[in-house]
A = this chain, B = another copy of it.
Amino acid sequence: MLSLIPGPSELYFTVHDHLRKAIRNSVGSLSHRSQEFETIFRRVTEGLKELLSIPAGYHIFFTGSATEIFERSIQNLVEHESFHFVNGAFSARFYEVARQLGKRPTRMEATPGTGFREVEIPAQTDFIAVTHNETSTGVSLPPGFIEGLRKKNENALVVVDAVSSLPYPSFDYHGVDSVFFSVQKGFGLPAGLGVWLVNDRCLARAEHLLALGISIGSYHNLPTLYSHAVKNQTPETPNVLALYLLAGVVEDMLEKGIERIRRETEYKAAILYHLLDQHPVLKPFVAETEYRSKTVITLDCGKHLAEVKEALLHRGFLPGDGYGEFRKNQLRLANFPTHSKEQFEALTDALNALKF
């Protein structure tokens, strides 16, 4: 059975080999203060910087989840007001976290399934939260949208939730101050690790809040994460096994080549959307092509949900349910680097063979 759930996803196809190697090398009992750990930390951070073409002046930190980074980024980067682009459940949660932490968030809402057109950002905003890929609906913001935000408010930090799109998107990091993701989506790893990329402007903001007497948290505040990361360490005992697996998968992806991963992602998305655009019954939930996610593809099955799901299961595909209220008539199909072109060809064949 091939899982197409958009996270926790089908494991990257090399993960079980790396796990077996971890057992042989006793990685599970490795001290996080050992040189071997520092080597793993460096392999992950240097590998990610190469894979994603991250420029100098950016730093990579680790948390327990991307959900934790919602909280840490608000805590460390917002003095008064954050501004949120909300078009689904996860961008809405980011907004809600700011409220729970006692900040004054504002938001611009779009109907689920669509993007944002006329963008107005309050002048006093010091933080712009944008969800590159809404996992709940399969809406992805078009290239240039995120990078254009900086022009609208130069003092605000631009913080990008790329949980279910990386490593696919190629961001222009000069327009982005922070990006985060979790490893159980596009990287195909077991859940339990969040990855947080920040630049020097973010570090300066956290120091500024601290100087003002605003609490930025304890062990996972940015100055503490930074002071450990420069020594290839973490403040707490981290999920060492997950870091080891991530190091391996990043190296495997580097060997395959990010351009090839991107081309294959686009090919797989193209054949699936092509089918949906021509299908008499199944429809893509995201109508406008510019907002369609390449990595989380959402099908509107109308009243045929049960039979579509059953047919896919019968052919060996485990589709993801729609999110929340959408589970009544939608399915979500992950298109991650672990899913091969051949598997997506077989998937479109399976959908094509459906008779209603």
Contact = CB atoms under 8 A, between A and B. Distances in A.
Contacts of A293: none
A317 to B, nearest CB: 14
Nearest to A71: B218
A67 B8 contact: no
A189 interface: yes
B102 A215 contact: yes
Interface string A155-186: 00000000000000000000000000010100
A125 interface: no
B32 A100 contact: no
A45 B64 CA distance: 20
Nearest to A97: B218
Contacts of A215: 100-102
A63 B221 CA distance: 17
Nearest to A240: B191
A270 interface: no
Contacts of A23: 16, 19-20
B9 A190 contact: no
A248 to B, nearest CB: 13
B190 A67 contact: no
Contacts of A28: 8, 11, 15-16, 19, 189-190
A96 interface: yes
Interface of A: 3, 5, 7-11, 15-16, 19-20, 23, 26-32, 63-68, 70-71, 96-97, 100-102, 182, 184, 189-193, 215, 217-221, 235-242
Given A191-B240, A192-B193, 4 more contacts: A8-B32, A11-B26, A65-B236, A67-B236
